[in-house]
Each structure stands twice: as structure tokens, then as C-alpha cells.
Structure 1
Amino acid sequence: MTEGNVNIQMRLTSVNEVSFMMSPGKITEEVLPENIKLGFSSQIQPEVENNKIALIFGIKYELEGDKVLECVYRFEFEVSGLAQFITIEDNDGITITYIMPHLISVAIGTMRGILVVKTAGTNLSKYPLPIIDPMQLTQTLSNP
């Protein structure tokens, strides 16, 4: 099966905050956007028998080695025929095909909106989450 002809039927069922930390006082008017380092984390929790999968997705902003923002949310999805996209290895490893970039794309877009609201009125509001390629991020998160 090639990626071009896979029919994926999925929906986002819930979004819940896991943790949020912000230190906007460390961001001054003189800080250049390229000086803020962006990091990501993710964890997958599949319930194959229920066609459900949770993505715990985090974003971190650092300035000169200091964490200035960390935001982690749990995104729950319902995916028709989830078993065809997931292989669970004997060593508890999980291989996910086709759907991961879609999950990441939804998480990034939702996080962008969350950060706009959470950072409103602070200096961090000048540093919105940039446009990110979900395919590239999926590969990066899969190969730490």
C-alpha cells in the first residue's frame, strides 16, 4: 500500500493540558527570534482495540539555555481501522505508518492557537509557533 492511496478516517476527540510553564520576564524587546531555541517532544499511547490513539505533544522555548516556555497537551484521536497503521514490537516499541504526520499537523496547529491565547499580553506573544513541516518533525521525533 503506498501512502498516496491510503484512506485515513480520523477525528480529534479531545485536547487536554498536561502542563504549562511560562517565564515571559526573560524575554526583552531586544531578543531576536533566532535566539529563541525551539524544542519538541511527543509520546504515543495507542488503544488499538478501541481505535483510539493519544498523542502527548510538547513545545519548549529556550533562551540562552533557560527555559522560558513549556507547553504540553494530550491530543486524543479516533482512527477508523487503527490496527492497520500500528505495529507494536516485542520490546514495547511502536511503529506507526501513514497517520503520524496527520496527528502532528493537528497538534501543531492547535498548539499555535493555544500559545497565541496563553502568551497574549506578554513579550512571548511576539514569538508565535513558526510554520513547521509535520513530515520532517515526525522523522525528527522518531529518531532522537
Structure 2
Amino acid sequence: MAGNKFAVKLSKVKTEEVSFREPEEKIAKSFNDDFLSVGFASYFGSDIDTNTVTVHLILNYDYGDEESGDLLRLLNYKGSFDFVFDNLKNYIDLKSNELLLPDHVLEKLLDISISTARGIIIVKTAGSFINRFYLPVFDPKTLLKGMQQEDSEQIV
């Protein structure tokens, strides 16, 4: 597979949920960026009949201290991004239905999806308090490695 070439395109962007809330004025005035955390979850899906790989993303902005139980969810985003390949069946194990795309391709799909989600979040939160806190730049290689590690831990 190392020498195989293929064409891929982003074919569909679906925003399943974007919800955000304004913090109380007292919180907004004393807002400390150190207490803002970004949560990330993602997984890949595939459909051999349509030659589609889907990246599913869930992103959250939480503010406060989880240990004290004082945690405020400021943003919740769920979305999916469909990428169509010219011949996906060459990259799927038909017995296990496992996706066999090279890591650098999965990293690029993840990177494009996150960047697109960042733009969607900026537009959807325009004029709100949370809009001044852009989704950070993630390293897709590190994220993919973490996803693969979680998958292998679930198998054990």
C-alpha cells in the first residue's frame, strides 16, 4: 500500500450541535484563562459503499475547577466531516471492517476537520463572550496516536 495513490475530497460538513452559554457577569469580569479547558474527542467511521471516511468531532470549552464541582460548560460542539476517496475498498480490511489508511492521511483528515470546526465555532459564536477564545491549534499526529492508544486499550 505504500506506493498507492488515491484522490480524496471533503464532500460534506455536518454540524450536529453548537451550543454555548454566556457566563454570569461576575464570572466574566474575573475570568481567568487558566481555568478554561478544551475537551476533545474524535473517532473515524467508514462506508465502503460510498467510499466515504467520516471524522466525528466533539469539542467542549469548560471553565472552572472540576475537583470542586464548580465547572461551567461554555461551549459544546459536535460535527462530522465526510471525505470521499476514489477507491476506499483498497484501504479497508473487509473481515474486520478496519480502516487501513496510512497515519499521515488520517492525520490530514483530522487536521482539516478540526480547522473547519474552528471556523464554524467562530461564526456560530460571533458576538458572544466565548468567541474571544479560539479553538487552539492541535497536533493531529499526537491526537491520532492518543486515539489509537485508546482503541488498543479497549481491545485488551
**Deviation for aligned residue 1:95:** 4.2
User: Which whole-Å CA distance do the structure 2 matches of 1:119 and 1:75 have between them?
Assistant: 20
1:38 counterpart residue number:
38
Q: What SS does structure 1 have at the residue aligned with 2:23?
A: helix
Q: CA RMSD in A?
A: 2.2
- Tell me what 2:110 maps to: 104
The structure number with the bigger radius of gyration is 2
Whether the 8 Å contact between 1:33 and 1:127 is mirrored in structure 2 is no
Normalized against structure 1, the TM-score is what? 0.82
Shift of 1:80: 2.1
Deviation per residue, 1:73-104 (Å, 9 max, x gap)? 111110122233333664x7x34432211111
* Amino acid across the alignment from 2:19: M
- In structure 1, stretches of 5+ residues that fail to align are none
CA contact (8 A) 1:45 1:53 kept: yes
- 1:15 is aligned to 13
Q: How many residues align?
A: 140
The ranges of structure 1 where at least 4 consecutive aligned residues each deviate by more than 6 angstroms after the TM superposition are: none
Percent identity over the alignment is 21
Task: Describe the SS at the equivalent of 2:57.
Answer: strand
Letter in 2 for 1:11: K
CA contact (8 A) 1:29 1:123 kept: no
Report the equivalent of 2:134.
128
Amino acid at match of 1:32: N
Following the alignment from structure 2 to structure 1, what is the Cα–Cα distance between the partners of residues 52 and 77?
23
**Cα offset for 1:112?**
1.0
Native 8 Å contact 2:43 2:147 kept in 1: no
Cα contact 1:88–1:95 (8 A) shared by 2: no
